Amino acid sequence: MSFDIEQIRRDFPILHQKIYNRRLIYFDNAATTQRPQQVIDALNRTYIEYYGNIHRAAHFLADKATEAYEETREKVRGLINAPAREQVIFTKGTTESINLAAFSYGEAFVGEGDEIIVSEMEHHSNIVPWQLMAGRKGAKIVMLPIDDDGRLKIELLDSLINEHTRLITCAHVSNVLGTINPVKKIAETAHAHGIHIFVDGAQAAPHLKIDVQDMNVDFYAFSAHKMYGPNGVGVLYGKRELLEQMPPYQGGGEMISEVRFAGTTYNELPYKFEAGTPNISGVIAFGAAIDYLGSVGIENIANQEKTLLAYATKRLMEIPGIKIYGTQPEKSGVISFNVEGIHPFDLGTMLDKMGIAVRTGHHCADPLMQHFNIPGTVRASFAFYNTPEEIDLFIDALKKVIALF
């Protein structure tokens, strides 16, 4: 499959505009990516051609919408190599997927005195739901630390796991450090001790080939808006035997089988976990995003982003006083850095005025900021539509900003 960067960039209309009269350079892809015309068209088509509420009415529009919605479920199944479509649950994003899993898993499997291991590099979305669950169940959160290169100290796992441990959770890829965690290996360790593993795949699914069966993870979560799809759509994958034992997260329409005032029975998977009218058009358009990713090719995407990461790292190292956080070799296209003597927020604001979108702050990873004893970083995160030329412009702008201070 060939990789035509000019054509790819033409597919993304938002990239071709000026910001403050400067060419837009979008390096905030870890926060959210932009959408190709194919996804925008798919979204529009649902409203123009076949919008109706799914799974319920026996009429043409509802049937067509249901078919398209369920087609996306099958596409997601294929994308992550899930064994069955029933194991793909649609949510509104990674955050909701984690809240769902933490609540329902907690109800089914966690009791007083139990322990959940959470890695130090997690996004708040993969810390707080587990803390809430632990608070309800009288369980304890145990931290799996990182080293100063941003590598998870998985060699400590054996000593952290004991007879109270129920589950370990970590990101597949860190949103701050870019570290790619060895989740297959962590899953092996977890299962050797009879515990489960939940993986936050928000920063991995857009960039890597995901095979939930090969990694043998028990749960995997990600968001469509970080994958060139619509916002308000996410996925929770789970092993069937676990999902079947877990109670519903929310009550409402669709998730029931029969409702009586004497008691309610629940629908089968995946509907048991999909209460209420979902983001119908968003899920359908997510199908178009998956098609688009397939047409570019995940290997091409990974290669382009690897090239960008290596080039940006090399160019950033030219800058005196720069410190990059996340320096171990297994890394995705995210660079967090600070420049000595300049607050990250000031750097980000000045870069914005030069047309360059980066993110600054704690990146919803306070414990990680505490590890490095910093208030925040500047984060540049790449997508396959970015180019080395944009990196050159970014470095020039950064040098100008630093000279001003």
Cβ contact 205:80 at 8 Å: yes
Q: Which long-range contacts (CB under 8 A, 24 or more apart) does 314-323 make?
A: 315/391, 315/392, 315/395, 316/395, 316/398, 318/395, 319/395, 319/398, 319/399, 319/402, 321/402
Query: Interface with ligand PLP by CB under 6 A: which range of 71-79, 121-129, 265-273, 392-400?
Result: 121-129
The least distance separating ligand PLP from the CB of residue 367, rounded to whole angstroms, comes to 13
The number of residues making up the chain comes to 405
The one among 169, 203, 304, 338 contacting ligand PLP by CB under 6 A? 203
Catalytic residue among 364, 369, 374, 393: 364
- The interface with ligand PLP within residues 245-304 (CB under 6 A) comprises none
Q: Does 95 bind ligand PLP (CB under 6 A)?
A: yes
Q: Which of 29, 66, 99, 125 binds ligand PLP (CB under 6 A)?
A: 125
Tracing tokens 């359908």 back to the chain, one arrives at 284
Segment 166-195, which members bind ligand PLP (CB under 6 A)? 171, 175
Among 66, 119, 126, 300, binds ligand PLP (CB under 6 A): 126
- Cα angle 100-104-110, degrees, rounded to a multiple of 5: 130
Question: What string marks each residue from 20 to 49 as x (binds ligand PLP by CB under 6 A) or -?
Answer: -----------x------------------
Closest to ligand PLP by CB, 202 vs 285, is: 202
- Nearest alpha-carbon partner for 114 in 158, 65, 167, 61: 167
Q: In angstroms, give the least distance from the CB of 98 to ligand PLP.
A: 7
How many Cβ atoms from other residues are within 10 Å of residue 296's Cβ?
20
Size of the site for ligand PLP (CB under 6 A): 14
3-state secondary structure of 339: strand
CB of 53 to ligand PLP, least distance (A): 24
Question: Least separation, in Å, of the C-beta of 364 and ligand PLP?
Answer: 6
Question: How far is the first Cα of the chain from the last one, in angstroms, to the nearest whole number?
Answer: 46
DSSP conformation letters of 193-225: TT-EEEEE-TTTTTTS---HHHHT-SEEEEEGG
364 annotated active-site? yes
CA distance 360 to 24: 17
Long-range own/partner contacts, residues 360-363 (CB < 8 A, 24 or more apart):
363/123, 363/175, 363/176, 363/336
Q: Which listed residue (99, 165, 169, 223) binds ligand PLP by CB under 6 A?
A: 223
91 in contact with ligand PLP (CB under 6 A): no
Nearer to ligand PLP, 77 or 363 (CB): 363
200 binds ligand PLP (CB under 6 A): yes
Q: Which range, of 12-20, 77-85, 88-96, 127-135, touches ligand PLP by CB under 6 A?
A: 88-96
Question: Chain-centre distance of CA 186, in angstroms?
Answer: 19
Comparing CB distances to ligand PLP, the nearer of 95 and 386 is 95
Q: Are 20 and 269 in contact (CB under 8 A)?
A: no
Residues that bind ligand PLP (CB under 6 A): 31, 93-95, 123, 125-126, 171, 175, 200, 202-203, 223, 225
For the annotated catalytic residues, the residue numbers are 364
